[in-house]
Structure 1
Amino acid sequence: MWSEAINQMLRQWMRKGALTLHLPDGTARSYGDGTAPQVTLRIHDDATLRRLALNPDLALGEAYMEGSLTVDGDDLHGLLELVLRNFGGGRRSWWNLPGRWLRKARRGLDQRNIAASSRRNVAHHYDLPPRLYDLFLDEDRQYSCAYFRDPGDGLEQAQLQKKHHIARKLRLEPGLRVLDIGCGWGGMALTLARDYGVQVTGVTLSEEQLKVAQRRAREEGLEDRVEFRLQDYRAVTETFDRIVSVGMFEHVGLPQFDPYFRAVHDLLAEDGVALVHTIGWAGPPGSTNPWIAKYIFPGGYIPSLSEVAPVIENNGLWLTDLECLRLHYALTLRHWYDRFTARLDEAREINDETFVRMWKFYLVASEQSFRFNRQDVFQFQISKRLDAVPITRDYLYRSGLVPRQAEVETLDRARDHAAE
């Protein structure tokens, strides 16, 4: 019964690429038009067949984690390219539709993200052993999309370029007060304080990230210019000349979009500028993939532009610039995957094989979503005043806006690290 359901689903939707499927009874079937990628998938028990037929969005990742589904050559990139090219855009068999409708209907409840649940959700992902992130992130621990001036840029250089690209959009001047919402391990805040002479307050809900950020500030002698707090952004009360938020808005959740931008409005000075960098969805609103919600980012939600723009407008803010980085995150994720898989033995010392397979699936699924689905990266530049930033984007690409010596020194450090 379940093998026939899988067969019907694949024959209906598999049009691009080539899939050879080996079933638990020893039989094999082929699907697709024979073009690349060509992938061989093996399902090892009937229970996995049933789960894949009923809830493929959740079961595919779970079965790979458990080893009840394997890919010849461990070709996760090929498998997930096939999945997204053929099943992207909401294509599903009729018996899968009620589950998708239910997820969309429940998204407000699942993402309500009040202060207590926000802290639990952050701890689920960001309070993992710090050694895990050392395996694949750059030296500065930038856990968000890098900025590639050229696809051949190394990860260290691209992450540095991301920070300076954002700094240009913030129009920084020495002495300005900056709020970093979701400051992570402190890399952005420390860069802005060190290279631009601003005063930064960084807030996070992760205890592990806070420890690292505070230690880094002490080691760099920047405690007089950077303060890191374990604090929800909704509890901040001061006013700031600039606000930056990188890779945090994905965790806000749909019901909190209005409180988030209301906080940006209330915390921002009248002539201030804010920059919100977030993964986005270049299509109609949807729901969070159930595997991602269960194992990686509980409470998370990738917003559509049509969901964000009205909230910005309704809170009296100007959207002064919008940039879509598109494939920059796919390039970032490939660097992360290559670094992680080069150190799998160390990863297995931190956690078990199931976790390692989960992390690989997460990195590859994310990369392929940027390549073959509707996933994007939005940078929203926001202000209260129409004239808070120049009327053209030329200022982003002129030399001299970044302290030149600081930029040269930091680029040299990045290149030296990459060469080691």
Structure 2
Amino acid sequence: MSHLTNKQDTRFSENSDLHNLATELLAKADIRINGSRPWDIQLKSPGVIDRALSEGNLGLGEAYMDGHWDAEELDEFFSRLLRAHLDAEIRPSRLILHALRAKLANLQSFKRAWQVGETHYDLGNDFYAAMLDRRMTYTCGYWRNATTLDEAQEAKLDLICRKLELKPGMRILDIGCGWGSFMAYAAEHYGVECVGITISQEQTDYGKQLMKQGLPVEFRLQDYREVSESFDAIVSIGMFEHVGRRNHREYMEVAHRCLKDGGMFLLHTIGKNVRESTPDPWIDKYIFPNGDLPSIGQIGDAAGGLFVTEDLHNFGADYDKTLMAWYANFEKAWPQFYDRFGERFYRMWRYYLLSCAAAFRARDIQLWQWVLSKQGILGGYQRLSE
């Protein structure tokens, strides 16, 4: 796109004052309106700046889905924006009700908890198979010694098995088991039996294929609050983000109830840097309904008196690489899904994957693995050398 003059730029905003304000804010992130660099924002229609300033990421994201603006390197656009903390400078008054709703209502109640399965995880197993690794692992990979997505995901699964010190014959509970990648890996390589629970019908149907292969894994279409059996170890990989702050304590109580004495519980979750924050309104509306990222303090409060924290490991920067690998797979496979989902879905999914990659790149959000025990491990927990 040719570089536009400042006079031409102003026709893409509601008024010159808004344009000047946006120009000043974006300059802090070294982003230019209609600039020539790949991370610069390109305005295609009027009103984008007004929507962004008045509605925050909700307005910015919807304008992108509508095709009203673009950036060649959308991930780098957001990384720069977040590193400059521009999101903290824009507090739209229109989102006050969204913030109050997130703090006061139980958006992850038993009835509402199933919404994310229907909206997000049930898009189609073929769609996720095209985007993810060969085991269909929809969580952060571990890239320390990995060069491919498959290697990173297997390294993550093995890391979890080793942290839990799994041994043949153990019975494991997987809370939020997804497509069963952990259960299949643990059963194949460590000789354990697994029970996985999910709120996605598509994931449950996929799990039946694994069960037909003779693996000792069981899929249940079930809410975590309904589980009451005892297990030698518990794992939860990328599910706690859907629990919600009003349910954190109950979640930990369920894990405590189901974990045998002497066993360990590994919690793998995305987390935020601050305790008091509001879920992103665009992500909440279009990607993960009722999601709520926890802080370290909130997890600590929920586990207090129930668990001893044996280990806490942050490898959030690895999620940037994971999301970019998913994005590359998504772009490659997109032609086969265009007729099913359409252009607006494509722009929505691109916005989701690349903006989230940017958030991890900017260290705005984290990925933690907690190792918890009920009474503390005598002599202390021996952290892996990795």
What SS does the aligned partner of 2:337 have?
Answer: helix
**1:145 deviation in Å?**
0.2
Task: Kindly provide the amino acid, as one letter, of the partner of residue 16 in structure 1.
Answer: A
CA contact (8 A) 2:270 2:294 kept: yes
**1:210 deviation in Å?**
0.3
Structural RMSD (CA)? 2.1
**1:37 deviation in Å?**
6.3
Which of 81, 85, 104 aligns to 2:99? It is 104
Task: Kindly provide the amino acid, as one letter, of the partner of residue 158 in structure 1.
Answer: A
CA contact (8 A) 2:275 2:294 kept: no
Matched, 1:250 2:248: no
CA contact (8 A) 1:181 1:203 kept: yes
User: What are the equivalent positions in structure 2 for 1:95-134 lying under 5 Å apart?
Assistant: 96-99=91-94, 101-109=96-104, 111-134=106-129
What SS does the aligned partner of 1:300 have?
Answer: coil
1: distance between equivalents of 2:378 and 2:219?
Answer: 27
**1:3 deviation in Å?**
4.6
**1:172 deviation in Å?**
0.8
Structure 2 unaligned residues grouped into runs of 5+: 1-13
Which of 344, 353, 359 aligns to 2:349? It is 359
* TM-score calculated relative to the size of structure 2: 0.91
CA contact (8 A) 1:123 1:206 kept: yes
2: distance between equivalents of 1:90 and 1:299?
Answer: 22
What SS does the aligned partner of 1:368 have?
Answer: helix
Task: Kindly provide the amino acid, as one letter, of the partner of residue 349 in structure 2.
Answer: W
**1:52 deviation in Å?**
2.3
Which of 366, 374, 378 aligns to 1:376? It is 366
Change (3 A) 1:354 1:389: farther
| 1:385-412 deviation per Cα after TM superposition (whole angstroms, max 9, x unaligned) | 2116853314x54xxxxxxxxxxxxxxx
CA contact (8 A) 2:175 2:198 kept: yes
* Alignment partner, residue 393 of structure 1: 383
**1:137 deviation in Å?**
0.2
2: distance between equivalents of 1:313 and 1:14?
Answer: 44
**1:300 deviation in Å?**
0.3
Matched, 1:14 2:36: no
Moved more, 323-332 or 111-120: 111-120
Change (3 A) 1:217 1:69: same
Change (3 A) 1:88 1:250: farther
* Alignment partner, residue 3 of structure 2: none
Matched, 1:240 2:253: no
Task: Kindly provide the amino acid, as one letter, of the partner of residue 44 in structure 1.
Answer: S
CA contact (8 A) 2:118 2:200 kept: yes
Moved more, 7-16 or 249-258: 7-16
* Alignment partner, residue 214 of structure 2: 221
* Alignment partner, residue 45 of structure 1: 46
Change (3 A) 1:331 1:388: farther
Which of 141, 147, 152 aligns to 2:136? It is 141
Identity of aligned residues (%): 33
| 1:110-131 deviation per Cα after TM superposition (whole angstroms, max 9, x unaligned) | 5531111111222110011222
**Aligned residue-pair number:** 373
What SS does the aligned partner of 2:178 have?
Answer: coil
User: What are the equivalent positions in structure 2 for 1:329-340 lying under 5 Å apart?
Assistant: 329-340=319-330
What SS does the aligned partner of 1:303 have?
Answer: coil
* Alignment partner, residue 404 of structure 1: none
Matched, 1:350 2:348: no
CA contact (8 A) 2:80 2:362 kept: no
User: What are the equivalent positions in structure 2 for 1:276-291 lying under 5 Å apart?
Assistant: 276-291=267-282
Moved more, 233-242 or 384-393: 384-393
Moved more, 338-347 or 257-266: 338-347
2: distance between equivalents of 1:360 and 1:119?
Answer: 25
**1:321 deviation in Å?**
0.7
Which of 316, 320, 330 aligns to 1:326? It is 316
2: distance between equivalents of 1:111 and 1:126?
Answer: 21
Task: Kindly provide the amino acid, as one letter, of the partner of residue 4 in structure 1.
Answer: D
2: distance between equivalents of 1:389 and 1:197?
Answer: 27
CA contact (8 A) 1:182 1:202 kept: yes
Task: Kindly provide the amino acid, as one letter, of the partner of residue 178 in structure 1.
Answer: I
Change (3 A) 1:120 1:39: same
CA contact (8 A) 1:155 1:332 kept: yes
| 1:8-57 deviation per Cα after TM superposition (whole angstroms, max 9, x unaligned) | 24414631323124xxxxxxxx7xxx9x76514114133x4432231121
**1:362 deviation in Å?**
0.3
| 1:166-195 deviation per Cα after TM superposition (whole angstroms, max 9, x unaligned) | 001111111111100001111111111121
What SS does the aligned partner of 2:236 have?
Answer: strand
* Alignment partner, residue 231 of structure 1: 222
**1:309 deviation in Å?**
0.7
**1:88 deviation in Å?**
4.3
Change (3 A) 1:213 1:388: farther
| 1:189-235 deviation per Cα after TM superposition (whole angstroms, max 9, x unaligned) | 111112111111111110000000111221x211xx21111111110
CA contact (8 A) 2:316 2:363 kept: no
* Alignment partner, residue 9 of structure 2: none
* Alignment partner, residue 265 of structure 2: 274
Matched, 1:176 2:170: yes
**1:373 deviation in Å?**
4.2
* Alignment partner, residue 4 of structure 2: none
**1:264 deviation in Å?**
0.7
